[in-house]
């Protein structure tokens, strides 16, 4: 199986169908609220259990629209739960490729068409992570845009003020989606490490990702990187990239130290933050394989060039330590 299987496509189509139904029902709620307002009642009062329509002359009409409104809100709640169910199925299906792999295989002893199986595993992990990240961010945003655009089309017939508000929201979501996609492109496009040093490339990446300066980043070096081979440089860049993304996304800290120590034979990378740390149990092989693609990719990258990877929760934050050879043995 490569990429999404047919069931994943069906799950995704089902979420679009449910979004369309939710749009129809939400448009109906807007219509009911307008009718209730025309009867002299604030629709928000209906959500107060102490409200009684008996005080109004047109109580029967109020009760009629109230029941329609109540039933449709219950249907919408159920559809959101159903959508969440299908999104969970979609995530499970996307992760099937890696999770169904034979964990008992000694990947160090196998080669497939001249390519080390560990290298193939790394490639598939990165593809799975990329598809998962896209699904959790840009795809969700764009799906929400479809929902909002459909709602706006229905509102234009009887509520132009609400339509304008929805369009403003659509523009805001579009800007966020564009920003996310630019971030993905920046992540995928490796710098020209032959033109720039590893340290310069890391500093440039950190400055880009940390534009709002939420985290104070300190990059330190011990020794010089002149002897570092291109393959080691490239993998260290990608490992550091992933580690720093984790700091921004999960650490809840306000400082990150990135330290490179260069010697004649090996390079050591340390990425340390002052955040909340993490649960060490996620380092078990089973949990790494199911959720923590980023950690597993860092580990695979280090090992594929003969290095080591270690991550631990410290007193005030998390520390990642990677050691790789300056000139690794030939990579199959």
Residue of 262 and 43 predicted with greater confidence:
262
Residue 141 has pLDDT above 80, yes or no: no
How many percent of the chain have pLDDT more than 90? 12
Mean pLDDT, all residues of the chain: 76
Secondary structure of residue 87 in the 3-state scheme:
helix
Most confident of 54-63, 80-89, 92-101: 54-63
What is the 3 state secondary structure string of 92-128?
A: HHHHHHHHCCCCCCCHHHCEECCEEHHHHHHHHHHHH
Q: Which domains does the chain have, with CATH numbers?
A: 6-187 (no CATH), 193-325 (3.30.565.10)
**Once rounded to an integer, what is the mean pLDDT over residues 207-214?**
83
Per-residue pLDDT band at 269 (split at 50, 70, 90): very high
Secondary structure of residue 34 in the 3-state scheme:
helix
Residue 53 has pLDDT above 70, yes or no: yes
Integer Cα distance of 259 and 220 in angstroms? 5
Phi, psi of 260 (to 5 degrees): -110, 130
**Once rounded to an integer, what is the mean pLDDT over residues 295-322?**
87
How confident is the model at residue 255, as a pLDDT? Answer: 93
How many percent of the chain have pLDDT more than 70? 71
How confident is the model at residue 6, as a pLDDT? Answer: 43
Integer Cα distance of 194 and 228 in angstroms? 11
Most confident of 61-75, 120-134, 271-285: 61-75
Residue 97 has pLDDT above 60, yes or no: no
Per-residue pLDDT band at 285 (split at 50, 70, 90): low
Per-residue pLDDT band at 166 (split at 50, 70, 90): confident
**Once rounded to an integer, what is the mean pLDDT over residues 220-248?**
87
Most confident of 195-204, 242-251, 296-305: 242-251
Residue 235 has pLDDT above 80, yes or no: yes
Per-residue pLDDT band at 330 (split at 50, 70, 90): very low
How confident is the model at residue 131, as a pLDDT? Answer: 60
Residue of 42 and 193 predicted with greater confidence:
42
Residue in 244, 260, 252 with CA at minimum distance from that of residue 316:
252
Q: What are the CA-CA distances from residue 33 to residues 20, 120, 130, 224, 270 (Å)?
A: 20, 57, 42, 69, 58
How confident is the model at residue 193, as a pLDDT? Answer: 57
Residue 308 has pLDDT above 80, yes or no: yes
Q: 231, 328 in Cβ contact below 8 A? A: yes
- Per-residue pLDDT reduced to its tens digit, 102-113: 444 443 443 444
Lowest mean pLDDT among 83-87, 127-131, 238-242: 127-131
């Amino acid at each position: 199986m490569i990429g999404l299987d047919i069931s994943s496509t069906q799950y995704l189509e089902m979420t679009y169908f449910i979004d369309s139904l939710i749009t129809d029902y939400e448009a109906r709620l807007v219509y009911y609220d307008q009718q209730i307002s025309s009867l002299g009642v604030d629709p928000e009062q209906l959500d107060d259990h102490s409200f009684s329509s008996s005080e109004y002359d047109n109580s029967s009409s109020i009760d009629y629209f109230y029941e329609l409104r109540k039933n449709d809100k219950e249907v919408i709640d159920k559809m959101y739960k159903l959508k969440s169910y299908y999104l969970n199925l979609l995530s499970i299906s996307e992760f099937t490729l890696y999770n169904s792999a034979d964990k008992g295989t000694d990947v160090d002893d196998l080669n497939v068409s001249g390519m080390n199986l560990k290298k193939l595993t790394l490639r598939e992990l990165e593809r799975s992570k990329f598809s998962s990240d896209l699904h959790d961010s840009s795809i969700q945003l764009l799906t929400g845009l479809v929902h909002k655009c459909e709602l706006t089309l229905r509102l234009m017939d009887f509520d132009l003020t609400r339509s304008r508000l929805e369009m403003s929201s659509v523009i805001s979501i579009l800007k966020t989606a564009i920003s996310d996609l630019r971030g993905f492109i920046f992540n995928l496009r490796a710098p020209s490490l032959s033109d720039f040093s590893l340290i310069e490339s890391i500093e440039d990446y950190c400055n880009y990702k940390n534009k709002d300066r939420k985290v104070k980043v300190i990059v330190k070096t011990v020794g010089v990187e002149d002897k570092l081979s291109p393959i080691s440089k490239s993998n260290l860049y990608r490992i550091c990239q992933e580690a720093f993304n984790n700091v921004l996304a999960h650490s809840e800290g306000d400082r990150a130290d990135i330290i490179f120590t260069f010697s004649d034979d090996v390079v050591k990378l340390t990425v340390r933050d002052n955040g909340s740390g993490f649960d060490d149990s996620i380092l078990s092989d089973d949990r790494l394989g199911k959720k923590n693609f980023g950690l597993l990719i860092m580990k695979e990258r280090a090992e594929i060039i003969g290095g080591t990877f270690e991550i631990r929760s410290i007193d005030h934050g998390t520390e990642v330590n990677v050691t790789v050879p300056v000139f690794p043995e030939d990579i199959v």
